[in-house]
Amino acid sequence: MFVLNQASHLEEPWLQFKNLLVRQLAFCVCSPNILSDTPPELVLKHTFQFHDNAIWHGHFENYRARLLYLDQHPQELEIFLQQLKSTRLGLRFEMFIWFWLLEPDYHPYQLLGHSIQKIAGPRTLGELDFLLFNTESKAIEHWEVALKYYLAERDFSLPYWYGLNRSDTLLRKLNHFSQKQFQFEDALEHKIEQRFAVLKGQLYLPIESKVSAIPNWVNLQRRLGYWGSHIPPQSADFYRLQRQEWICPQQHISSDTAHWWSNGLYLQKDKNNFYMYRNLPLLSQTVKG
């Protein structure tokens, strides 16, 4: 059985901010990817990379003063987010990244385009999330961004990480990056030289499992959560997170202690342990990714 704890050395600087939107912005910009590398068993059609953890740490250091200002004066961020009419967390994540990229004083990127459609005649071939010019490397970069939550099953190998919708698997998402989203050689008359997946969110291990080895492509500099279909130990210490808090929880407890459990993400008070509760009837038979 896994014990609900996590290494204390993890840096989570987004938790220092008080305003929820600023905490979420800081998480989106500063947290490492949930993967440290592409799994070796993934068959790549079009190659792409993940940024090193140090890159995101550097972005936080460059953005810290701005975040501290926004924490006291969040109106600009609030107005920007009003453009978003959808409640989807993935689109919210993209908006936070866009807000940051629009501020060139805090990073080395020149934003060349966002949500760029590639069209051939009557057909839409795809869309690029962000096209950037890196003023340090002088390279044109294509970024695809995604916020994902995957639950590990079986032996934790690549085919057995499932989203809350079991048709959404980690393997399927990585294949979509490689086969579809990173297929383009150019955009807006710029030749693409580097391709980066910005894949953030959280991974969850079964609270009860005999598997002891976590794949080396899982980024252990990101806090891992746990998941299960029963109430965990110390259940009285947990409360249910609001949907928007999945990106980053509010500074203070946002709901009552979870006396009656339903599907959702729960947080252990004062310990920052995340538990994804899944009602057993909703767990279907394992399918291949």
pLDDT of amino acid 289 = 33
> Which amino acid does the sequence have at 247?
I
Q: Give the HSE-up count for residue 185: Cα atoms under 13 Å, Cβ half-sphere.
A: 0
So what's the pLDDT on residue 169?
98
In this prediction, residue 262 carries a pLDDT of 85
pLDDT for residue 3: 52
Q: Work out the widest C-alpha separation in the chain, in whole angstroms.
A: 59
Quick one: pLDDT at residue 78?
98
| pLDDT at residue 261, as a whole number | 80
C-beta separation of 154 from 131 below 8 A = no
Output phi, psi for 87, to 5 deg. -95, 5
Helix, strand, or coil here: 181?
Answer: helix
For residue 270, give every residue at least 6 positions away whose Cβ sits within 8 Å of its Cβ, in sequence order, or none. Answer: 237
Q: Are 202 and 149 in contact (CB under 8 A)?
A: yes
Q: What pairing do the DSSP bridges indicate for beta strands 109-120 and 194-206?
A: unpaired
Residue numbers in the chain where pLDDT is lower than 50: 1-2, 285-289
- Which three-class secondary structure state does DSSP give residue 29? helix
The backbone torsions φ and ψ at residue 70, rounded to the nearest 5 degrees and listed phi first, read -65, -30
pLDDT at 211: 79
CB 3 within 8 A of CB 205: no
Q: What is the pLDDT of residue 210?
A: 78
pTM greater than 0.85: yes
Going by the DSSP 8-state scheme, the letter that residue 185 receives in this structure is S
